[in-house]
Amino acid sequence: MKIIYCLLLVLGLSLHGHASRPKLMPMPTSVVFKQGQFRLNQHFNLTIAGNFDERIRGASARWLKRLSEQTLLVLNPKQIGDKNAIFKIHITKPAKVALHEDESYQLTVKDKQIVLAATTDIGAIRGLETLLQLLQADTDGYYFPHVEITDRPRFPWRGLLIDVCRHFIPIDVIKRNIDGMAMVKLNVLHLHLTDDQGFRIESKTYPKLHQLGADGLFFTQEQIKEIIAYAANRGIRVVPEFDIPGHATSWFAGYPQFASAPGPYPIETKLAGLDNAPTFDPTKKETYTFLKAFFNEMAALFPDEYMHIGGDENNGRQWNSNLQIQDFKKQHNMANNHQLQGYFNQEVRKILVQNRKKMMGWDEIFQPGTSNDIVIQSWRGKKTLFEAAKQHYPVILSHGYYIDLLYSAKDYYLNDPLPTNHGLTAEEQQYILGGEAAMWAELVTAETIDSRIWPSTAAIAERLWSAASVNNVADMYERLASIETQLEYLGLSHQKNRDVLLKRLTNGGDISALKTLTDVIEPMKGLSRRKQGTTYYTYTPLTMIADAARPDSKVARKFEKLVKTFVSSPTGETAIELKTLLLLWQNNDRLLQPIINQSPSLHEISIISTHLAALSGIALDMISYLEKDKKQADNVFSEQWQQQTAKRIQDARLPRGSVEISPTLLDAFTPLVQRVLQK
C-alpha cells in the first residue's frame, strides 16, 4: 500500500476533504486518491476492448444493474459497447478459471473518464467490484472519487469451503454465496460433498450413492454444472471434496461391501462423537475398482484440476478390529494405520492422475514419500503448513479460519498464512498458496448459514488478498460494516434472517425487546455448544436463540469503544452515548420478561436479560460517579462492592440456551471499575 494512503487511513481524511472515504475491502495493493470526482448521470456507459469473451459481457451487465439499483440512474444495458463510452474496460485475453491465473487490474478514475485495464477478464471482474465500492454520494448526487489503483492478490488460492452434508445447502444459497465471494475477490468454492450424514451429489455410475446415501437432498449433475458455470462466470473455481477413507458412512448406505466391517449402514444422523464411524477397506482390490469408476465420473463433471479426497479423522477403529486388514498391514510391513492410509492415498492418487487431476487432502494425507504434486489443507495447526512448505508441497491454511466456530472477525483477520515468525525461505514461502474459510454445517441450515459465513469471511478474504501490512483491526471493522450491508444487496440474508428467527421464537409477537437483547448476546464459541450435553442430530431444530444470535456483536464492540474513550477522558458526549445504551439495556428486561414468559423457547435466557439489566444499573452508577467532581461524589465503591460486582460479572458470563452475553461487552466493565477505584 502506498504511503500516501496509509497516512490518509491514520488521519481518517481524504485528500479532497470529504468526510467519508470509500470503504474498500479487500484493500487494494496501491490506492492513490486525487482531487476531484467523476459525477454519474444517466448517460453513463461502458465499452469493452481487447480480446475477451462472454464472461466479461455478463459481468459488465450485472455490474451496471447493481450501479443502477444503487444510484437510481436508469442505465440501459444497451449502453454497453458504445465506442465513445466514458468507462473503458481493456482486456488482453480471456482467463482460464484455474490456479495461478492473472487477477491483477489497474483502475483510473479521472475527469470524464474511467479506465479499467487488466491482463485477463477475471482481473477486470475483480476491478469492477473495487469500482463499485468506490461509489460515494453527496448532496449533488453520486460520484466516484478520482483515483489510481493498482491491484493484485497476495495469494492465488482464496477459498470458502461449504459443507453441504451435515445439513444440505441448496443451489440458490450456494449461488448467493458465490456472489458474496466475488464481491470480496475470493476465487475458490470448495464443496464438501460427502460425509457420514449425507452423500450430496448424484452419481449415474453408482446411483445408490445418492439414492440411499442422502435423504432425497443432493445436487443433480445438472445443478452441479449450473454451480460450476455460475462460479466460473465470476472467476471462481469449484473444487469438490469426496471425503475418504473415513467420514464415509453415506457411501456405505448403498454399498456396504466396501466398508471395513459388515453393514448395514444407515445414514448417520448424529453430528458429533462418531467414534465408530465406518471406513473404506483399503486392502480390497474391489474398493479401488469402485473408486476408480466413481472418480472417473466426477473428473468428467468437475473441470478444475484439483480434486479433494478429504482424508481427515480416520481413527482406524474398524481397521483394528478387522483381522484380514491387520494381516495385510503385516504382509506389507506397515507399522501403523497411518501408513495403511498412506497406501490408500497413493492408490487413489493414481486414479486421479489418470484423470489428469491433482490430489488434495487434509493434514492427514501429508506423509513422507507422497508425491509432491498433491496439495495439503492444514486444519489442525500451522505445523503441517510450514512442514509441507519446507518439503516443497503446495499447502493452504484453514486452521484459524473455521468460521463455524464463531470467533470474532478480528481473530480470523489476524491469522496470517505467513506470520512474521514463519522461518521459511523465499522459495519455501511460494508453496503456501493461500487459505480457505471453512463453513462446517453441523449447526447451520440454509436459513442461518449466511449469518455464519458473513461478514467474517470478508475479513479472511482481505487477509488472503491484501498485503500483510494491512492489519489495522479498527479500520478493518469500519470497512467490514459497510461490506456487510452491501453483501445483503446481493441477496445474502445474514442480517435479515435474524428477525424471522426472532419472530418464530416469540410466536409471531413483538420482537423489539428481543432484538435489543440479541444485539449483545452471541452464540457459544468453539465446540462448546456441541459439548454442552445436548446430542445434536441432523434433525435437531436449529431455530433457537443461539441460531438467531450472531457472533462478534457490533453493539458490544461499540460499547467497548465508548468505555475506552470515556475512561481516558470522560466527556459529556461520550457519557450521553454510554448512558443511552445502558438505560436501553436496563429497561429492556422489564419489556422482555413478559414476552419470554409467553415464549417457552425463550425461558432459558430470562436470567441473561436480568443479568444485563443489573450490570447496566451498576455501570450507570459508576458513570454518574465519574461525572461528578470529587467533593460532590459519594464514594460507595467499597471492597465489598468490588467483590459483589466481580461476582455479578462472573455470573453474567454463564451461557444459557447456548448463548452468552458478548464477552467483549462484559470485559469492557473492567476498565470502568478500575477507573472508579482510581478516582
- Point out the residues that are catalytic: 313
Minimum distance between the CB of residue 610 and ligand ACM, rounded to whole angstroms? 37
**Phi, psi of 161, deg, nearest 5:** -90, 130
Residues 6+ apart with CB under 8 A from 307: 239, 240, 242, 295, 298, 299, 352, 355, 357, 358, 359, 360
Asked if 32 and 1 touch (Cβ cutoff 8 Å), the reply is: no
Nearer to ligand ACM, 179 or 436 (CB): 436
**Phi, psi of 551, deg, nearest 5:** -70, 160
Please tell me the distance from the alpha carbon of residue 424 to that of residue 417, in angstroms, as a whole number.
Answer: 12
Please tell me the distance from the alpha carbon of residue 175 to that of residue 171, in angstroms, as a whole number.
Answer: 6
Residues at the interface with ligand ACM (CB under 6 A): 312-313, 362, 379
Nearer to ligand ACM, 95 or 438 (CB): 438
Nearer to ligand ACM, 211 or 315 (CB): 315
Minimum distance between the CB of residue 344 and ligand ACM, rounded to whole angstroms? 17
Minimum distance between the CB of residue 268 and ligand ACM, rounded to whole angstroms? 15
Minimum distance between the CB of residue 425 and ligand ACM, rounded to whole angstroms? 28
Q: What is the DSSP letter of 373?
A: T
Minimum distance between the CB of residue 53 and ligand ACM, rounded to whole angstroms? 37
Minimum distance between the CB of residue 165 and ligand ACM, rounded to whole angstroms? 12
* Burial class of residue 584 (count of CB atoms within 10 Å of its CB; 0-12, 13-18, 19+): middle
Minimum distance between the CB of residue 277 and ligand ACM, rounded to whole angstroms? 12
Minimum distance between the CB of residue 307 and ligand ACM, rounded to whole angstroms? 16
Nearer to ligand ACM, 101 or 312 (CB): 312
**417 cis-preceded (ω within 30 degrees of 0):** no
Nearer to ligand ACM, 58 or 381 (CB): 381
Nearer to ligand ACM, 252 or 379 (CB): 379
H/E run at residue 253: helix 249-254
First to last CA, the chain: 44
Alpha helices in 355-455 (DSSP H): 383-390, 409-413, 426-429, 449-453
Q: What is the DSSP letter of 27?
A: P
| Distance, C-alpha 403 to centroid of its chain | 5
Nearer to ligand ACM, 165 or 464 (CB): 165
141 Rama class: left (phi>0) / alpha (psi -120 to 50) / beta: left
Please tell me the distance from the alpha carbon of residue 124 to that of residue 227, in angstroms, as a whole number.
Answer: 21
Minimum distance between the CB of residue 364 and ligand ACM, rounded to whole angstroms? 9
E-assigned strands of 202-357? 237-242, 306-308
- 3-state SS class at 89: strand
Could you tell me the CA-to-CA distances from 227 to 89, 179, 230, 362 in Å, in that order?
26, 11, 5, 24
Minimum distance between the CB of residue 398 and ligand ACM, rounded to whole angstroms? 7
Q: How does strand 198-199 pair with strand 141-151?
A: unpaired
555 Rama class: left (phi>0) / alpha (psi -120 to 50) / beta: alpha
Q: What are 587's strand-pairing partners?
A: none
Nearer to ligand ACM, 319 or 362 (CB): 362
The residue sitting closest to ligand ACM, measured at its beta carbon, is 312
Q: What are 89's strand-pairing partners?
A: 48, 116
Nearer to ligand ACM, 105 or 379 (CB): 379
Please tell me the distance from the alpha carbon of residue 427 to that of residue 390, in angstroms, as a whole number.
Answer: 9
Asked if 115 and 199 touch (Cβ cutoff 8 Å), the reply is: no
Minimum distance between the CB of residue 243 and ligand ACM, rounded to whole angstroms? 8
H/E run at residue 85: none
Task: Tell me how crowded residue 550 is: count the other CB atoms within 10 A of its CB.
Answer: 23
Task: Read off the amino acid at residue 271.
Answer: L
Asked if 559 and 665 touch (Cβ cutoff 8 Å), the reply is: yes
Nearer to ligand ACM, 288 or 379 (CB): 379
Nearer to ligand ACM, 318 or 506 (CB): 318
DSSP 600-651: GGGGGGHHHHHHHHHHHHHHHHHHHHHHS-TTT------HHHHHHHHHHHHH
